[in-house]
Amino acid sequence: MMDFPLTLNVILRRAETIHACREVVTHRSDGSWHRYGYADMARRARQLAVALAKLGVSSGDRVATICWNHYAHLETYFGVPCSGGVLHTINPRLHADDLVHILTEAEDRVLIIDDTLLPVLERIGERVSLEHIIVVTSDGNVPAGMLDYDALIDATDATGYEFPELEESQAAAMCYTSGTTGRPKGVLYSHRAIVVHTLGSALASAIGIQEADAILPVVPMFHVNAWGLPFTCAMMGSKLVLPGRHLDSESLLQAFEQERVTISAGVPTIWIPLLDKLNECEGKYDLSALHSLIVGGSAAPRSLMEELEKRHNIRLVHAWGMTETTPLGTVAMLRPGQETLDEDQQYAVRLRQGHPVPFVEIRARGEAGIVPWDGKTMGELEVRGPWIAGAYYKRPDAADRFTSDGWFRTGDIVTIEPGGSMKIEDRSKDLIKSGGEWISSIDLENAIMSHPAVTEAAVIAIPDAKWTERPLAVVVVREGQSVSAEAISRHLETKVAKWWIPELFEFVEEIPKTATGKFQKTALRKQFAEGR
Ligand code: AMP
């Protein structure tokens, strides 16, 4: 057989030739709609590649983006990696210190940023050295010293330019994961990993994407490549509907109706208010084209699945993945024979995190080694496969997340049923997932404990209807001193991202500890979180 490299260039060539006129539709920040075909996208991706080369970007260089989901961001998804660069998508919600850390560690040379996200740059000020900042605007207004994205593309002649032939093992993109203590860790995706993930996630037993679909990724393009959907749509030729910054339920429902969206994807905190809105204005939107909402990032509640399906005839598909897994790992679906299960049993199957998609292998390790697939014994989930990270970028200190026999340790505590359906029972770390984003309880505790009147602080997650989880801080005040929740919140404003600041504080005499002197969070959860 031919030694044919699996690179994004092959996907782009296909999109340009086979799916030339299939549409990419963007809801722009000024409210207008932008439309073009994949051939236009590919042409502009080439212009971007030439423009970046003129700015001094060469093979292997990192180009960062801080952008919502829109056509220019899609052009960077192909223009940067197909010319040999590495696309570094950055989450604008990170704390300034983390932004500085990742921009510095990744040594990003160029940043492409939305005009509406420029305040993110103001937060980090002069603390990073970027050679060029390119701004995506809807009105052509660009701050002095920065370049206008559209003007740059329009002024670039890419006639005759061909993307180079690349090695499939070459890095195409990178994304940082927050989620553990300390600084976010980088994951570098190879061309091969993304291509094989693209094939795998299009399968009917995964997300099931066809050319006739119209797909709206609500999941941001800065979060694990919007679950790979932009690549999958380009390969399959599905219409891609990009919501820009219009992520409120009403805008999404309007976009679903207007663009005849068939599949959308997002975290539970997107679908919960969307369901409320649907209930509120039943019959207002024609969603007859919409057949599936993919949900992942945190566990989907049954009420969400049941109500969307019974009341609005919209199927919710539960999937699991991580930044380190590109991200699709497992999908929960009824298998042949399970249609005869009763309703409760069917929901139970579909609310698990599900079966690994082809080429992803799973196992779980308990204290006594690999646990049996009995649906009862818990262990930490380990995964391997062609799109699972084999290391973190420049982080030899995190080598313990990979086993000596080549599996990635996820940190999720799971049970696995006979037949391979996985369920997350708990997290090995005590992270808080708020609005689809991680809050590190330890970082937050340290920030609270940096207040002079606080001696001890432990943070636990409490369920929250809007954000899935929010932090609750349990605080011990230094003897002879007093401090209010408001004063701690004000103190935190300078230490952590705004959305990390807990709304709830409990003041206690003492925090229960484990034998090794760690905060006993199980006890705190029992006391403060259970039943909320
Ligand atoms: P991230 O790397 O930010 O995408 O976060 C990955 C983590 O999110 C996983 O390790 C899980 O703990 C959690 N997660 C992702 N999908 C699900 C899901 N369907 N149910 C429960 N937790 C999930």
Phi and psi torsions of 468, nearest 5°:
75, -60
74 found inside a domain:
yes
512 found inside a domain:
yes
CB of 320 closer than 6 angstroms to any ligand 1 atom: yes
424 found inside a domain:
no
79 found inside a domain:
yes
CB of 297 closer than 6 angstroms to any ligand 1 atom: yes
Q: What is the pLDDT of residue 516?
A: 44
What is d(CA 188, CA 192) in angstroms, rounded to the nearest whole number?
A: 12
Angle 45-48-53 (CA atoms, 0-180°, nearest 5)? 130
- Return the residue whose CA atom lies nearest to atom 12 of ligand 1: 412
Q: Which amino acid is at 225?
A: N
Supply the DSSP symbol for 61.
Answer: -
Q: What is the pLDDT of residue 300?
A: 82
CB of 249 closer than 6 angstroms to any ligand 1 atom: no
What is d(CA 233, CA 445) in angstroms, rounded to the nearest whole number?
A: 42
Residue 468 known to be catalytic: no
381 found inside a domain:
no
Select from 199, 231, 248 the last residue of a domain. 199
What's the domain range around 65?
8-199
Select from 199, 227, 256 the last residue of a domain. 199
Q: What is the pLDDT of residue 429?
A: 62
**H helix or E strand, kind and range, residue 81:** helix 71-82
Low-confidence ranges of the chain (pLDDT < 50): 179-180, 515-516
Catalytic residue chosen out of the listed positions 324, 380, 437, 469: 324
CB of 299 closer than 6 angstroms to any ligand 1 atom: yes
- Looking at residue 153, which CATH number applies to its domain? 3.40.50.12780
Select from 172, 199, 226 the last residue of a domain. 199
Percent helix, percent strand, percent coil in the chain, to nearest 5: 35, 25, 40
User: For the chain, how many structural domains are there in total?
Assistant: 2
Catalytic residue chosen out of the listed positions 156, 177, 262, 326: 177
The C-alpha torsion from 177 through 179 and 180 to 182, rounded to 10°, is: 70
CB of 352 closer than 6 angstroms to any ligand 1 atom: no
For ligand 1, mutation pick of 174, 197, 298 (most atoms within 8 Å of CB): 298
Q: What is the pLDDT of residue 302?
A: 81
| Reduced 3-state DSSP string for 221-285 | CCCHHHHCHHHHHHHHCCEEEECECCCCHHHHHHHHHHCCCCEEEECHHHHHHHHHHHHHCCCCC
286 found inside a domain:
no
Residue 320 known to be catalytic: no
Residue 324 known to be catalytic: yes
What is d(CA 260, CA 239) in angstroms, rounded to the nearest whole number?
A: 10
106 found inside a domain:
yes
- Looking at residue 516, which CATH number applies to its domain? 3.30.300.30
pLDDT in tens, 240-259: 999 999 999 999 999 999 99
* Residue 134 CB contacts under 8 Å (≥ 6 apart), including other chains: 110, 111, 112, 113, 146, 147, 148, 149, 152
384 found inside a domain:
no
